[in-house]
């Protein structure tokens, strides 16, 4: 499996193909709330070596009932704002079907199914949306609301991700990063989308 990444660096002019089409999602499966914030795009492609990640199996309902969901430790970093289809939060080995209003914490992993999409807002007002068949890990996050300083690292293992940066990227350029199987992207105030796919 060779990962192919498509990166959309967003500028000022709204693309009709992104924002004007579907009422709930765009062609990459992003939630409408995120897409309405995006303005234009520039497209580039990248390829690299074999992907190391593997898809997680789906446990039966009996196993899910027997294994309690692990309560998060530490402060909340984000909240689920909208959901479509199948979305799961993975936290320290426990699985929870995501719902609107759920709080998210550092190290949480978001997984979406074939019909899934989710939109979340971080405490620094960064907005993030993922489309179908995606896996995103919230690896690192810290934010001080008194001076707007912080740092953020999001790991896109597969699928699609769109972000509109908030206070962290505005106050500390380069402190907000997105990791993919082939690169680490530094965010400096731009709005962008990334897609990671596998080709046989």
Residue 32's pLDDT is 54
Say which residues have a Cβ less than 8 Å from residue 121's Cβ, sequence separation at least 6.
Answer: 78, 79, 81, 127, 128
Report d(CA 51, CA 60) in Å as an integer.
Answer: 27
pLDDT higher for 136 or 28?
136
Report d(CA 178, CA 7) in Å as an integer.
Answer: 11
CB 141 within 8 A of CB 181: no
pTM for the full predicted model: 0.69
Residue 24's pLDDT is 43
Pairing of strands 109-112, 103-105: unpaired
**Where in the chain are the domains?**
2-51+69-199
Residue 90, pLDDT > 50, answer yes
* Cα three-residue angle 41-175-152, rounded to 5 degrees: 90
Report d(CA 146, CA 173) in Å as an integer.
Answer: 17
pLDDT more than 70, % of the chain:
62
Residue 126, pLDDT > 60, answer yes
183-200 tens-digit pLDDT: 998 877 678 899 998 643
Residue 87's pLDDT is 98
pLDDT higher for 150 or 4?
150
Phi, psi of 120 (to 5 degrees): -130, 155
Spacing of C-alpha 129 from chain mean position: 5
Residue 188's pLDDT is 72
CB 98 within 8 A of CB 127: no
Q: Which of 48-52, 73-77, 120-124, 154-158 has the lowest mean pLDDT?
A: 48-52
pLDDT class for 44, splitting at 50, 70, 90?
A: very low
Q: Which of 107-111, 126-130, 167-171 has the lowest mean pLDDT?
A: 167-171
């Amino acid at each position: 499996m060779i990962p192919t990444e498509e990166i959309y660096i967003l500028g000022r002019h709204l693309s009709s193909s992104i924002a004007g089409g579907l009422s709930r999602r765009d062609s990459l499966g992003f939630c409408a709330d995120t897409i309405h914030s995006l303005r234009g795009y520039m497209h580039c492609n990248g390829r690299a070596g074999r992907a190391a990640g593997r898809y997680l199996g789906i446990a039966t309902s009996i196993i899910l009932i027997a294994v309690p969901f692990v309560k998060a430790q530490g402060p909340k970093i984000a909240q689920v704002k909208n959901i479509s289809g199948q979305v799961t939060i993975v936290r320290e080995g426990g699985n929870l079907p995501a719902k609107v209003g759920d709080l998210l914490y550092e190290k949480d992993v978001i997984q979406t199914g074939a019909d899934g999409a989710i939109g979340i807002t971080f405490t620094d007002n960064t907005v993030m949306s993922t489309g179908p068949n995606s896996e995103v890990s919230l690896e690192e996050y810290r934010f001080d609301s008194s001076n707007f300083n912080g740092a953020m690292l999001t790991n896109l293992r597969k699928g699609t991700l769109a972000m509109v940066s908030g206070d962290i990227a505005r106050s500390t350029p380069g402190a907000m990063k997105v990791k993919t199987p082939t690169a680490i992207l530094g965010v400096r105030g731009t709005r962008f989308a990334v897609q990671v796919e596998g080709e046989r």
